[in-house]
Amino acid sequence: MTTKNTPPPERHAPPVALVPRPRIVGARPPAALAVPAVLVALLALTPVGYLLFRGGISLPLLLRELSSPTTGMLITNTLLLALGVTLTCAGLGVSLALLVVRTDLPARPLLTVLFALPLGIPSFVGSYTWVATFYELAPRSTFIYGLPGAVIILSLAMYPYIYLPVVAALRGLDPAQEEAARSLGTGAAVAFFRVTLPQLRTAIAGGGLIVALHMFAEFGALELLRFRTLTTAIVQRVTVLSAPEAARTLSLVLALGSLALLALDLKVRGRPSAARTGGGVARAPSLWRLGRSRWLWLGASGFLLALALGVPLSAMGGGLVRLLLRPDAAFDWARLIGATQDTAQYALATALAASIAAIPVSLLAVRYPGRLAMLTERSTWIAHSLPGVIVSLALVYLSVRWLYPIYQTSALLVIGYVILYLPIAVGAQQVGFGHASPQFDNVARSLGARSLGTFFRVTLPLALPGIAVGAILVMLNVGKELTMTLLLHPTGTRTLATALWATTEGEVLDFAAAAPYAVALVAITAIPAFVLIRQTLRRPARR
């Protein structure tokens, strides 16, 4: 590859320096911050407490389950799925980010947005559309069923979780180090892998952690694709076999797996990378010229978008048209409107509750890094890897024993959503609070402001962009959630996800009846997805 001429020297950025995150090293966190953070962490650990202490752990049952060939197969399937999808998403996410940020690919601004749009299509909806498409075009084909099909289809739905942060990271990197390596005779590709890629590890690791934990807890898509994992087995043991003890045993295996992932994530992220200090205008990096291969890359991009967006949208559109043209169509549109309203209300309520609950955990992790901060922040991630059915059983047990007034209410379902998606809000808020330097707090206090007033007038406004991104991510995930909603939703209410799932009726596939719910679900999740994409990509691409 060759490169375009670099910009004029007068636009050079300031020198590069290692800038630590805003933190108060060695300081003890105030009780007003530490106590709420610990309480939130304990709430997040409620499902784990249920697994450990509800009826105790039967060692014979544990050994029998772990020594079973079926359990070995389930563990292997789960690990292969998580590894395959995470690696595929990392490859797609980094490659696509490079195409739209660092190359002269045609239509880059449009492709930058299009590559992120699969974020608005729930994974089980995407799987449903693929099953419907193959059912019509190749009813005897088994290609999409099993591990290969699951890896491909779920990767098409999940890669934006790595693509978006890598795009943002690439746009924020100072190109001086890479260009210094190039000036010493290193090729463009070698310079990228040696200099730039290590600086992207935080973005890749953060997105990869979300993808891997999603695979640990995925149920709906895998049930449709007929691929058995620990989560599908756990749901079967609870809902079909009435064997909650065996389900809890398998859930402990998932929890241990999530702990291993969290430890690996801490190791991979390492120390913060170099950042610019001082003012000035960031200097744009040289673009890689693709030459004649640019049209090949453009065609490959179109093919990927046809798989990730074209198949789901065409299947949903075709099903909706067939429903409208069906002579005996008797679709309950009022039910669709009610499910849409319930979904929106739950998403908004959970986004607000999760954002508030995440603030002490995020602020503690950013301002007072240490063992307490690390334990509270990591605790929020454990439940994220557990199946929704286990979190539901834990909340049902607690509400029946001690909090009966909220049993079978919307409040209990919102609490469950908060436990599941709290770490997503925490991760986004850490970025926001990382931009709020303690120096601003010190200036405000020197002018007579109290601690609480300083937080609301200085720290919180600076962190609002990160808080908003976290709230949007929570809304997006609540709209997609299926397993917990099936078990905890109050009588008389249903979300779009549960209404869509009800149309499967076991082995019966009536996509015409499911299409309106699928279209409405994609539409309602597309709103927060679009806002998130715009927030992440609002900085113009460098030319």
Rounded distance between C-alpha atoms, residue 72 and residue 228, angstroms: 12
75 closest CA partner among 264, 253, 261 = 253
258 Cβ contact partners less than 8 Å away, ≥ 6 residues apart? 213, 216, 381, 382, 384, 385, 386
The ranges assigned to domains in the chain are 28-55+331-502, 58-274+283-328
> Which amino acid is present at 8?
P
The answer to whether residues 357 and 43 touch, using CB atoms and an 8 Å cutoff, is yes
Token pair listed for 419: 């436990």
Q: CA-CA distances (angstroms) from residue 319 to 197, 221, 307, 497, 510?
A: 43, 19, 18, 17, 9
Query: What pLDDT score does 541 carry?
Result: 43
The DSSP H or E segment spanning 113 is helix 108-114
Listed in sequence order, the DSSP H helices in 279-409 are 293-305, 311-325, 333-367, 371-382, 388-401
Query: What pLDDT score does 56 carry?
Result: 62
In degrees, to the nearest 5, what angle opens at C-alpha 123 toward C-alphas 432 and 393? 80
Q: What topology is assigned to 58-274+283-328 in CATH? A: MetI-like fold (1.10.3720)
Q: CA-CA distances (angstroms) from residue 168 to 90, 100, 105, 200, 202?
A: 15, 11, 18, 10, 12
Token look-up 């707090």 returns: 441
- Tell me whether the CATH fold assigned to 28-55+331-502 matches the one assigned to 58-274+283-328: yes
Query: What pLDDT score does 543 carry?
Result: 42
Rounded distance between C-alpha atoms, residue 297 and residue 301, angstroms: 6
Rounded distance between C-alpha atoms, residue 319 and residue 332, angstroms: 16
Kindly report the number of other CB atoms within 10 A of residue 448's CB atom.
7
Rounded distance between C-alpha atoms, residue 113 and residue 410, angstroms: 35
Token pair listed for 384: 């994220």
Q: CA-CA distances (angstroms) from residue 13 to 103, 171, 176, 313?
A: 21, 14, 9, 44
Query: What pLDDT score does 361 carry?
Result: 95
Burial 184-214 (b: 16+ CB within 10 A, else e): eebebeebbeebbeebbebbbbbbbbbbbbb
Q: What is the pLDDT along the chain (543 residues), one digit of tens a residue?
A: 444 444 443 333 333 333 344 455 457 888 999 999 999 999 999 988 888 887 666 677 778 877 888 899 999 999 999 999 999 999 999 999 999 988 889 998 899 999 999 998 989 899 999 998 988 888 888 888 999 999 999 999 999 999 998 988 888 776 766 667 666 666 666 777 777 778 888 889 889 999 999 999 899 899 999 999 999 999 888 887 777 778 888 888 888 888 888 888 888 776 544 444 444 445 666 777 888 888 999 999 999 999 999 999 999 998 888 888 876 667 788 889 999 999 999 999 999 999 999 999 999 998 888 899 999 999 998 888 788 888 998 999 899 989 899 998 999 999 999 999 999 999 888 888 887 777 766 666 666 667 777 777 778 888 888 888 889 989 989 988 888 998 898 988 889 998 888 886 555 567 778 889 999 999 888 888 888 888 777 654 444
pTM for this structure?
A: 0.83
Q: H/E/C letters for each residue in 351-368?
A: HHHHHHHHHHHHHHHHHC
The answer to whether residues 318 and 133 touch, using CB atoms and an 8 Å cutoff, is no
User: Could you tell me the CATH superfamily of domain 28-55+331-502?
Assistant: MetI-like (1.10.3720.10)
Residue 313, classified by CB atoms within 10 Å of its CB into exposed (0-12), middle (13-18) or buried (19+), is middle
Tell me the torsion sign for CA atoms 214, 218, 224, 227.
positive
35 closest CA partner among 46, 24, 43, 26 = 43
Rounded distance between C-alpha atoms, residue 151 and residue 81, angstroms: 6
